[in-house]
A and B are shown apart, each in its own frame.
Chain A
Amino acid sequence: MRALLALPAALFAGTLHAHALSHTTQPGSAVIVELRYGDGSPFSYELAEVYRPAESVPFLAGRTDANGRLAFVPDRAGDWRVRAFSEDGHGGDFTVATGGEGGTPARSEGLGTLGGFAVGLSILFGAFGLWSLFVRKKQ
């Protein structure tokens, strides 16, 4: 019976994990590329691709932000190719030389989903332990 009850719970937990997304925030260094039209207005919301040195598969594919900027965190030194283009034919294709130092930012101590879950459990167990000690002393 216990096994029968545990099965849907396990499946549900699996579904949660499949859809949940862990994240971390970390300080570090990024390359920010700013693109502008000839009249100075930002090349905003347009398609952009970034390629590692000598690679043909994009390292990053996305869009420029409202200010016409895109940012990427290089994980190696060299000439990174940046392409940005719009449907009306505007665009740029150039390289950005990046140094190896600081290319890979150090991770912070941010917690992912599993880490948070473990900490939560620890707090619960700790609280239960304290409560048990308090009750025993009273008896």
Chain B
Amino acid sequence: MSRRAVPLLLATLVVAPRAAPAHDLWVEPDAGGYRVLYGHHPQVSHEGARQIPYAAEVVRSAICLDAAGGRRAATLGRSSPVRIEGDCAVLYVLTSSGYWTKTTAGTKNVRKTEAASPLNAWQSFESVKHVAAWGAGAANSLGTPLEIVAAENPLALTDGDKLTVRVLADGKPVTGAVVTYDGKARGETGSDGAVNVRVKHGGMQLIQAAVRTPHTGPEADEVVHTTALTFALGAGQ
């Protein structure tokens, strides 16, 4: 520590660079199935899509439904990016990268109880529901930890149309969840879990919501679950 006070430290330029973007989880149709991708979704990132490598183990489960809501078999691949074999009208994928702890030496992929100098910690879940065909399978809740359900057929929308979506946790409405479209906040859910989103372009659509809830146990302070609803319009279908 200096014995003399520092006379002056001038900032010649204060730069607020592009905020570090949140990451997106989405699925991309592949021959006879889908690929689970993670990173910067092309609709969100101005710099284009960027995939972030992930361990195949983070993909915890997948639900594959036909248009009527009947369960279909879905096989999870064992390499990254994970490929899911199956003919799904609705595909729901749940991933978790586990516990994350912010420390004075950066963010570590460990429980708070395992970290040196922990500041705050969270358990991370991410999920995505892709709707390829409309029907009871897409219209009803899957009863998953967090999901976005479209109130009407989103595949019939055109540019400028409004879509009502509901954010549900274990089938129950989530109040106060911020819903984004292409990464931009579009509204907060009411007590019925609903919010309106206006579709602004054709092709792949990305609607997301994130929910933070307290974590029970010393491993983390909260559970952070981000979920997405994706579907394609126009030629993208």
Contacts and interface: CB of A to CB of B under 8 A. Distances in A.
Interface residues of B, number: 33
Given A25-B2, A45-B105, A86-B106, A33 B9 contact: no
Nearest to A91: B20
A35 B17 contact: yes
Contact of B20 (A23, A36, A71, A98): A36
B59 to A, nearest CB: 16
A28 interface: yes
Contacts of A87: 106-109
Contacts of B103: 45
Contacts of A55: none
Contacts of B21: 38, 90
A38 to B, nearest CB: 5
Contacts of A26: 6
Nearest to A29: B12
Contacts of A84: 20
Contacts of B10: 27-30, 102
Interface in A25-48: 25-40, 43-47
A12 B204 CA distance: 72
Given A28-B10, A38-B20, A88 B107 contact: yes
A32 B11 contact: yes
Given A45-B102, A110-B4, A94 B18 contact: yes
A39 B147 CA distance: 21
Interface residues of A, number: 40
Contacts of B39: 89
Given A32-B15, A87-B108, A91-B20, A23 B2 contact: yes
A34 B52 CA distance: 24
A115 B176 CA distance: 63
B15 A108 contact: no
Nearest to B108: A87
Contact of A92 (B6, B18, B102, B108): B18
A34 B20 CA distance: 11
A47 B11 contact: no
A119 to B, nearest CB: 13
A37 B23 CA distance: 11
A30 B14 contact: no
Interface in B17-55: 17-23, 39, 52
A94 B52 CA distance: 19
Interface of A: 23, 25-40, 43-47, 63, 71, 82, 84, 86-92, 94, 96, 98-99, 102, 108, 110
Given A27-B10, A34-B15, 4 more contacts: A29-B11, A30-B10, A84-B20, A88-B100
28 contacts: A23-B2, A25-B4, A27-B6, A27-B8, A27-B9, A28-B9, A29-B12, A30-B9, A31-B12, A33-B15, A34-B14, A35-B19, A36-B16, A36-B19, A36-B20, A45-B106, A46-B106, A63-B105, A63-B106, A87-B106, A89-B52, A90-B21, A90-B23, A92-B18, A92-B20, A102-B10, A110-B2, A110-B4
